[in-house]
Structure 1
Amino acid sequence: MTLSPDEIITVTLWGVPINATLLFTWIVMAVLTGASMLITRNLRPDVPPNRWRTALEVVVQGIQNQIAEIAQGPSRHLLSFVGTLFLFVAGSNLLLVIPGFRPPTSSLSTTTALALSVLVAVPLFGISRRGVGGYLQSYLRPSPVMLPFNIIAEASRGISLAIRLYGNIMSGAVIAAILLSVAPFFFPVVMDLLGLLTGMIQAYIFAILATVYISSATAPQTLSSPQKDAQ
């Protein structure tokens, strides 16, 4: 039983084998890009919004509201990055309804790449908001002795993100394979519905955790003083 799309070779281009992970990743990116271009092609004040544009605005506004609640401060700069993560993970899992489609998020290489993007984004956003010195000082708090532990904690975030997303998606694939071997005619519909629900939940959790990590790196550090404590 083949569970990971990394093991499936779909095509060969110029002698280079292209596995299902790469192929389906390109499909997801093409679908998201094409859908956004079609929906926003008449994005002008003089053109009344249609139902697709309204739906897209609802999704974007919902993502923005969730980010604002977590960031507790300026959050507009997080919308593009976190929103892209959410839409990619959600789109990968929603396309499960297409027969033969294997979500790229069921590959450890994809989830690791997503986690690494968050791991790189954390210091980039932190430096852009607080400066190099202000961000690096966060690794020395509450004491310089904590420097190696803070570095380990930062690295463990990316590992936990990758394993969490991969494990949840793969567990669904394993359960589906077992149920399909027991009752191949009844369980496909049920598992498709369960996969859609699980995929949306995982996309939401992944985006929320990415927002939490970035917000903690960009939040200003407030130092208590005797005057403030006296007040």
Structure 2
Amino acid sequence: MQLTPDQTVVFTLGQWQVNATIVNTWIVMILLAGISMLVTRNLRADKAPGRWRSALELIVTMIQGQIEEVTRSSARHVLYFAGTLFLFIAASNVLTVIPGFVPPTSSLSTTVALTLSVLVAIPLFGIAKGGVRQYLRKFIEPSMIMLPFNIIGEFSRGVSLAIRLYGNVMSGVVIAAILLSIAPFFFPVVMDMLGLLTGFIQAYIFAILATVYISSAMADPPLDTSDKDK
């Protein structure tokens, strides 16, 4: 029983083996891009939105509202990054209702790649908000002795993100495989419904945690009380 798409080779290109993780990742990306193009192809301010456009705007508005609650500001630029993470993970997990489709998020390589993108985005957003000096200053707060601990804490965030997403998805795949082997005619419907719910929850948690880490990097430094007293 293959639980991760890394073990399934779809086709080969010379000496390179293309596994199901890569293929399914491209399927999700093409699907999301195609839906976005179809929904927004006739996007005009003087035209009433249709059902698909209204549904897409509702999703975007909900994601933006959650981000603004975390950042406590109108951080629309964070929406593009965190929203993409949410839609990719949610779509990957929801597509498990299709027989034979294994979500790319059940591969550790995919979760690590998503986490690395978050780790790169954190300093980029922080530097864009307050500059290099202000961002690096946070690593020596409240004193210089905290520098190694702050650096370790920064990388531990990424490790926790990758392991959390991978563990959640893999646990769902294992449970589904066990239940399907016990009662293949009853549990598929239950597992499909449960997969839809857990898929959105996993995507929401990952995107929110990424937003929290980015907002902490963008936060203004605390006021120097010693200078204020003077």
TM band (smaller chain):
over 0.9
Matched, 1:27 2:27: yes
Matched, 1:225 2:222: no
User: TM-score w.r.t. structure 1 length?
Assistant: 0.96
Give the aligned residue type for 2:56: L
Give the aligned residue type for 1:213: Y
Tell me what 1:162 maps to.
Answer: 162
Tell me what 2:73 maps to.
Answer: 73
Contiguous gaps of at least 5 residues in structure 2: none
Tell me what 2:149 maps to.
Answer: 149
Tell me what 1:133 maps to.
Answer: 133
Give the aligned residue type for 1:177: A
Q: Deviations over 1:186-210 (max 9, x none)?
A: 1111111111111100000000000
Tell me what 2:196 maps to.
Answer: 196
Tell me what 1:49 maps to.
Answer: 49
Give the aligned residue type for 2:182: V
Between stretches 71-80 and 166-175, larger displacement belongs to: 71-80
Tell me what 2:94 maps to.
Answer: 94
CA distance in 2, matches of 1:9, 1:115: 24
Give the aligned residue type for 2:99: P
Q: Shift in Å at residue 224 of structure 1?
A: 4.0
Q: Deviations over 1:145-196 (max 9, x none)?
A: 0000000000000000000000000000111111111111111111111111
Q: Secondary structure at the match of 2:131?
A: helix
Q: Shift in Å at residue 227 of structure 1?
A: 8.2
Q: Shift in Å at residue 226 of structure 1?
A: 5.5
Q: Secondary structure at the match of 2:147?
A: helix
Q: Secondary structure at the match of 1:17?
A: strand
Give the aligned residue type for 2:36: S
Question: Structure 1 residues 64 and 229, CA, compared in 2 at 3 Å: closer, same or farther?
Answer: farther
User: TM-score w.r.t. structure 2 length?
Assistant: 0.97
- The alignment's C-alpha RMSD in Å is 1.4
Tell me what 2:105 maps to.
Answer: 105
Give the aligned residue type for 1:80: Y
Q: Shift in Å at residue 74 of structure 1?
A: 3.3
Q: Shift in Å at residue 46 of structure 1?
A: 2.1
CA distance in 1, matches of 2:68, 2:115: 22
CA distance in 2, matches of 1:87, 1:76: 16
Q: Secondary structure at the match of 1:18?
A: strand
Give the aligned residue type for 1:143: S
Alignment of 1:202-217 (within 5 A): 202-217=202-217
Give the aligned residue type for 2:177: A
Percent identical across equivalent pairs? 67
Q: Shift in Å at residue 15 of structure 1?
A: 3.8
Tell me what 2:11 maps to.
Answer: 11
Q: Secondary structure at the match of 1:66?
A: helix
Aligned length: 230
Q: Secondary structure at the match of 2:207?
A: helix
Contiguous gaps of at least 5 residues in structure 1: none
Q: Shift in Å at residue 229 of structure 1?
A: 7.4
CA distance in 2, matches of 1:60, 1:196: 19
